[in-house]
C-alpha cells in the first residue's frame, strides 16, 4: 500500500519518500508470500520452496540489520545543529538517546534472527523427499 501523503509522528503532513515507499512495498509482498505459502496443501509443499523462501528471508533480515545500523547512526546525529521538539513534552534529547538505544536493540535482535535463519537455511538445504527411482511421474513423483 503506497501512500501519497502521510502524517509524521509529530503531526506534520509529508510526502512518502522513496525508502519508505520501498519498505511498504516489501511488507506488502512478504504478506503476499506468507498468504501464498499458507494456501498450499500439505501434499503440494516443495522442498525448493522452503529453501528459496528462507534464502529470501535471510536476505531480507540482512537488509533490516543494515537498515537498523544505518538508522542508529542517522538518528544519533539527527539533533546536531537542529532544534528538536517532543510531541509529548518530554526532553527531545533524552528521547533521541532512548531511540538510538532502541534501534541498537532492534539490530541485535535482527542479527540473532539472521543467525537462526542462516542455520535453518543450511539445515533445510540438506533434506528432501526420497523419490522411488522406479516410479513414473504418475506413480508418486511430484
| DSSP letters for 59-118 | HHHHHHHHHHHHHHHHHHTTTTTS----TTSS-HHHHHHHHHHHHHHHHHHHHHHHHHHH
Is position 80 within any domain?
Answer: yes
Helix, strand and coil content of the chain, in percent to the nearest 5, comes to 65, 5, 30
pTM, two decimal places: 0.79
Distance CA 32, CA 86 (A): 36
For residue 72, the enclosing domain spans 45-125
Is position 28 within any domain?
Answer: no
pLDDT digits (tens, 9 = 90+) for 4-42: 444 455 566 778 899 999 999 999 999 999 999 999 999
Is position 8 within any domain?
Answer: no
Residue 9 has what pLDDT? 55
pLDDT digits (tens, 9 = 90+) for 72-130: 999 999 989 999 999 999 999 999 999 999 999 999 999 999 999 999 999 999 988 88
Q: Is the pLDDT of residue 138 over 70?
A: no
Q: Is the pLDDT of residue 140 over 60?
A: no
Distance CA 36, CA 65 (A): 26
139's CB contacts (< 8 A; 6+ apart) are 132
Distance CA 65, CA 9 (A): 23
CA dist list (Å): 85 to 19, 73, 78: 24, 20, 12
Residue 101 has what pLDDT? 97
Residue 1 has what pLDDT? 45
Is position 2 within any domain?
Answer: no
Q: 60 versus 2: which is more confidently predicted?
A: 60
* Region for 84 from its dihedrals, namely left if φ exceeds 0, alpha if ψ lies in -120 to 50, beta otherwise: beta
Is position 142 within any domain?
Answer: no
Q: Is the pLDDT of residue 70 over 50?
A: yes
Domain count for the chain, please give it.
Answer: 1
Distance CA 105, CA 72 (A): 10
Is position 133 within any domain?
Answer: no
Is position 25 within any domain?
Answer: no
Is position 54 within any domain?
Answer: yes
Amino acid at each position: 500500500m503506497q501512500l501519497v501523503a502521510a502524517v509524521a509522528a509529530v503531526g506534520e503532513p509529508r510526502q512518502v519518500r522513496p525508502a519508505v515507499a520501498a519498505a511498504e512495498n516489501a511488507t506488502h509482498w512478504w504478506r503476499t508470500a506468507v498468504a501464498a505459502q499458507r494456501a498450499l496443501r500439505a501434499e503440494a509443499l516443495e522442498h525448493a520452496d522452503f529453501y528459496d523462501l528462507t534464502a529470501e528471508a535471510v536476505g531480507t533480515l540482512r537488509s533490516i540489520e543494515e537498515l537498523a545500523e544505518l538508522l542508529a547512526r542517522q538518528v544519533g546525529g539527527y539533533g546536531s545543529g537542529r532544534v528538536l521538539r517532543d510531541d509529548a513534552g518530554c526532553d527531545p534529547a533524552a528521547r533521541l538517546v532512548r531511540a538510538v538505544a532502541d534501534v541498537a536493540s532492534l539490530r541485535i535482535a535482527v542479527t540473532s534472527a539472521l543467525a537462526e535463519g542462516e542455520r535453518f537455511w543450511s539445515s533445510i538445504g540438506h533434506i528432501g523427499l526420497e523419490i522411488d527411482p522406479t516410479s513414473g511421474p504418475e506413480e508418486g513423483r511430484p
